[in-house]
A and B are shown apart, each in its own frame.
Chain A
Amino acid sequence: MKAEVKELPQDIMELQMGPSHPATHGTIKFNLKLDGERVVDCDTEVGYLHRGFDKSSEQGTWTQVIPYTDRLNYVSPLINNVGYALAVERLLGVETTPRCQFIRVVASEISRITDHLTCCGMAASELGAITAGFYMIEAREMLMRIVEALTGARLTVTYVRIGGLKHDLPEGFAAQVKDAFEKTRRLLADVEKLLSHNRIFIDRMSNVGVISKETAVSYGLTGPVLRSTGVNYDVRKLQPYLVYDQMDFTVPLGSHGDNYDRFIVRVEEIEQSMRIVEQALEKMPTGPISIEDPRIVLPDKEKVYNSIEGLMHHFKIIMEGVHVPPGEVYQAVEGGNGELGFYLVSDGGGRPYRVRVRPPCFIAMGAFREMIRGYTVADIVPTFGMINMIGGECDR
């Protein structure tokens, strides 16, 4: 009798968090095993937003993949555009014009800022600091207007083309950016007062979701999550693409590998990205925005309507697609959440044979179990928030 009484009934509660849960934005499900509030095990279920990016990409022409890439990480779609276009250009063996490269840098960095702002803002508001979250969203809104002025759309931008860009910078772009950055910096200063030095926020974020350097590398983490552990890996520095080697910027690093470091790394990166944009706008060369190769870039409408060659090229690019020589290429760019790699295989036709994206947040979600085990249910929110899983990219 005594032996039975001694054992208090203590069992593991299974809790299914998601796929429809306020914190699982992007639709994801955690099958949790809880001991009280402590997470004993967490099985992460992804795929709710799977729509067959790879398969769909194999159906259209090389150019028609670009709109699909918008929908990968829809918080920083311009980086996806740039990464894909760069990969295709490497397959083609061409390099775009200097002005195009600078504009691509500007576009990528603005996208990165919106990505980090969304991530940090959402994470803050999920911790209850809704006001700070709104400040960040307000800053993002200003940048979204810039993106809108540049591309004509907020999220589904489809701005970059193979071999160039859709169109040049709008008039008064530099002034608009300057104005927006000024406001963004002011808002970020407010956020810093509200959050970065807030004791409750620090307590919630620091020493939560800790991951060591070695584990992070083993899990293939990239971006802010990896840099928060102190590993200095930024594609822009390690393998500079576009004109990043001409830019003066630093890569902020953390040391503890916890959520607070991730937050600080992201906030610092916003500042660095703003610096890059300012430098790029200053150094912006004049000239064409696309290469002059009618087999790759659509000719001007004037040529299409007035010359038979123009019409032919237009027709061929639209109907058959850009003919990419056979081969394969892996192009990595630094996305909002880390290394965004495009592995393309061409069989020489106008359609891609295989389009593989290395989704940084899919891989980061693979390490989520490791990050959250031993912490509490409430810690899922900031940890998941700082990974910044974007359903479109994770599930493709």
Chain B
Amino acid sequence: MADEIPQLEAIRRILGDAVLDAHTARGEDVIVIRRDGLVESFKRLKEDPALAFDFLSDLTAVDYFGKKEPRFEVVYHLLSLGSGRRVRVKVPVGESSPEVDSLVSLWRAADWMEREVWDMFGIRFRGHPDLRRILLYEEFRGYPLRKDYPVNQRQPLVPERALKGTFVDMRSNNKLAQLKQQLEKQKLAGADSKRG
């Protein structure tokens, strides 16, 4: 495990004590970093000229339910387009507060991938601009890729969602009438403010 190659040494040097563990396994460099200051660590990995991991290849999570503590690991695969070096970055996340910082500010690819991890594992990403379920629907209960989610679990039926703008009856959508209503509202609002 302690068999360090130059890349890992460089990472250790640059990230300092944010690195909990670094090793090479099956030809792949793996580092485990602290959850706090995550964005800062990734920023260094991305922007330090010696590392230049400018490409977020993959972002996912693994649930080590009953095998490891803390339970979750968020796994990032970074790639340096210039040299073709890869590194796997793992961030342990506990069950009590499944939250990590979002990387959307660094890589926009993180947007959808983080949404997927939220969808499947229920790990929240702080600072994500639009954290919604992505593959499943909003009414889905539970997080299916957690190991304690039974594979044959059935979901309750949900009523049809009244989506805004799905079917607009053009007759009710009378633009002139709308304009008039708006004006009336404004008038009312004006009257109210005067009174108040």
Kindly name the residue among A219, A220, A354 whose own CB sees the greatest number of chain B CB atoms within 10 A. Answer: A220
Q: CB-CB contacts of B117-158 with A at 8 A, as 1s and 0s?
A: 000100000000000001111000000110001010000000
Beta-carbon contact of B136 and A50 below 8 Å: yes
Nearest-neighbour CB distance to chain A for B129, whole angstroms, equals 12
* Contact indicator B77/A330 (Cβ below 8 Å): yes
**B161 in contact (CB, < 8 A):** no
Contact between chains at A329 and B26 (CB < 8 Å): yes
Contact A327 B77 (CB under 8 A): no
Interface set, chain B 32-56, CB cutoff 8 A to A: 54-56
Contact of B112 among A56, A339, A362 (CB under 8 A): A362
- Assess the A16–B77 pair: CB atoms within 8 A: no
Chain A residues with Cβ below 8 Å from B109 are 218-221, 363, 366-367
Chain B positions 54 through 73: 1 when the CB is less than 8 Å from some CB of chain A, otherwise 0:
11111010110001000000
Assembly CA distance A176 to B25 (angstroms): 42
Q: Is the CB of B84 within 8 A of A358?
A: no
CB of A395 within 8 Å of the partner chain: yes
Contacts of A55 in B (CB 8 A): 144-145, 149, 151
Interfacial chain A residues near B6, Cβ < 8 Å? none
Instruction: Tell me, in angstroms, the Cα distance from A329 to B75 when the chains sit together.
Output: 11
Inter-chain CA distance A272–B63, complex, in Å, is: 41
Q: Is the CB of B58 within 8 A of A46?
A: no
Most buried by B among A14, A330, A341, A347: A330
Q: How far is the CB of A184 from chain B (nearest CB, A)?
A: 31
Chain B contributes a number of interface residues (CB within 8 A of A) equal to: 45
Say if the beta carbon of A201 comes within 8 Å of chain B. no
Known: A54-B120, A219-B109, A220-B107. A327 touches B81 (CB 8 A): no
- Whether the Cβ atoms of A217 and B55 lie closer than 8 Å is yes
Report A71 CB to chain B, min CB distance, Å.
15
The answer to whether the Cβ of A287 comes within 8 Å of any Cβ in the partner chain is no
> Are A9 and B179 interface neighbours, CB within 8 A?
yes
With contacts A14-B165, A330-B77 known, is A217 near B54, CB below 8 A? yes
Contacts A/B (CB < 8 Å), 23 sampled = A4-B183, A14-B165, A47-B135, A50-B136, A55-B151, A56-B151, A58-B151, A90-B27, A93-B26, A220-B109, A221-B109, A329-B26, A341-B57, A341-B58, A343-B58, A343-B75, A356-B62, A363-B109, A363-B112, A363-B113, A366-B112, A367-B109, A370-B108
Which residues in B have some Cβ–Cβ distance to A below 8 Å? 25-28, 30, 54-58, 60, 62-63, 67, 75, 77, 81, 84, 86, 88, 107-109, 111-113, 116, 120, 134-137, 144-145, 149, 151, 163-166, 175-176, 178-179, 183
